[in-house]
Every structure is written in C-alpha cells, then in structure tokens.
Amino acid sequence: MVVVGVGKSGLIGRKISATLASTGTPSIFVHPAEGVHGDLGMITPRDIVLALSFSGETEELKRLLPSIRAMGIPLLALTGRSHSRLTRAATVTLRVAVKREACPYNLTPTTSTTAMLAVGDALAMAIMQTRGFKAEDFARLHPGGVLGKRLLWTVKDVMHRGRENPVVRVNQSVREALQVMTRTRMGAASVINGDGRLVGYFTDGDFRRLAPQDPRILLRLMRQVMTVKPHVLNTSTRMGEAAEQLRRYRCDNMPVVDDHGRPIGLLDERDLLSEGLL
C-alpha cells in the first residue's frame, strides 16, 4: 500500500505506513510533491493508494490524482469532507470529520489528525486480521524487540552449558555441590545418576533452609537433600514459554534436559532479565 499526504496529514500517513509494514502489509510513504517529480515510479499497478487530506483539497495531492486514475489502481481516501476533489476521485472514502479542532482558534490540526491516526490504525488492524497475520509473524518482522525474542529465541540460545552448567552426582556431598555452584555462580546444581540422567535438583535456597536444622548438612549426600523430579526445560522451548514457566513455578533457574533426560544446560532468570524477557 502506498500512503500519500502533505503536512500534518503526511506525518500521520508516515506512521500509518509504518504500522502497515510492521503488521505484514508492504507499504511505503510517497510525498505528493516528490511524486509529481518522479517518485510516482514507486507505485505499481498492484498497489493501493491511501491518500490523507482532511480538507480533501490539498493542492500537491490533487496534482497526483490524474496520474493515479491513469494507472487504474484503487484510491482509498482518508478525509474529513464528503464533498471534495479527493472524495470524488476516490474508490472508497473513510470519513474522519470532527466538529472542531482542539486548538482554541480551531486552526491547528489536532483533533482531526488524531481521528486520522485512529482510523488509519484501525484499518491496519483490519487488514492484519484479514491476512491472518499472527504474533509469530510480528516477531519475525521485529527480531530485535522483546516480542521477537520471546517468540523466536529458544532456551538453546540463552542457556548456560559446558563448564557453566553445574552438575553433580547423586552420591556427592552437599559440600562438593556448593563448590560446583560457587564455581559456576549459578546458585543451583543438577543432580544425575550413574547413567547421567537428571534425578534431582539442589539450590542455594535449599541449603539455607536445611542448614539451621542440620549441623551435618555439608556431609549429607545429594540423594538425601535434593528436590526429586524438578521442573525442567528442553532446548526447543520458546523463551516466552520458558519465562512463563519460571514465573509460574517461582524458580530462579531451571535445568535443561535433552531427549534422554540428561541435563545439558541451565536457564537462569538473570539472563532473561537482562534481555527484557522477565
């Protein structure tokens, strides 16, 4: 969709064009003054032109109308007047009439531009729904934003692995587990059996709760103190769902397991916070 407009209407048109593009409808803004000096070449027979003019009589815009008509493409008008040059030339008119501007002298475009923006955004949303544009599509067009990260990134992209992934065996002591947790600075450790499968989880919070009740806590084995059947993630879990699981289960971190139940990583809420995902 090609959006055209002059002055304040042009500024609103640029915003509407940007909204259309970001919601899956290819769109560009063409200034009418530049249009009559060659930029009409940006418009193709497959396009629709959306023209913004509250009066419908903007001179620069009127000079474009014969060319648009000659191309035989639809012209959608966003205007405040039912009887104007733009309205007569339009295929479809969306009327955005207002009783008066917010300006005390009823001169500065204020209320009228707000109405144009609202109708333009509504149009963009209607087109988006008609096209079946989904949140996943929005994320694809906004990979640098938080929504893009939530829907496109997976746990594999963020998790700690290798030496940063704290793992201890079920027959190791709490003292040994704390050493591993301190080295990795994760505040938790996955507990594995002889086959390398996850059988439990131990956190510094568990240690703080148990220590006052058990003077021999450092000598206890993991199988005696670990949380059995902890909540886990897999590498393909989307970051939005991972963030929701951390929130739902009130976890600071979670082990990440492979298809065989082996802990291959750890996801920590601090990493999600730094990416704006929590």
Residue 227: predicted pLDDT:
95
99 against 137, higher pLDDT: 99
d(CA 159, CA 184): 13
Residue 138: predicted pLDDT:
78
What are the structure tokens assigned to 37, written together?
């000096």
Residue 249: predicted pLDDT:
92
pLDDT level of residue 275 (50, 70, 90 thresholds): confident
Least confident of 104-108, 178-182, 190-194, 272-276: 272-276
Residue 67: predicted pLDDT:
93
Least confident of 42-56, 128-142, 183-197, 252-266: 128-142
Q: For 55-88, write each residue's pLDDT tens digit.
A: 999 999 999 999 999 999 999 999 999 889 999 9
Residue 224: predicted pLDDT:
95
Residue 25: predicted pLDDT:
93
Residue 177: predicted pLDDT:
96
pLDDT level of residue 151 (50, 70, 90 thresholds): confident
Q: For 2-20, write each residue's pLDDT tens digit.
A: 999 999 999 999 999 999 9
The answer, yes or no, to whether residue 152 has pLDDT greater than 80, is no
Q: Are 194 and 275 in contact (CB under 8 A)?
A: no
Domain annotation for the chain: domains and CATH numbers: 2-133 (3.40.50.10490), 155-274 (3.10.580.10)
pLDDT level of residue 134 (50, 70, 90 thresholds): confident
pLDDT level of residue 148 (50, 70, 90 thresholds): confident
Cα within 13 Å of Cα(49), Cβ side? 32
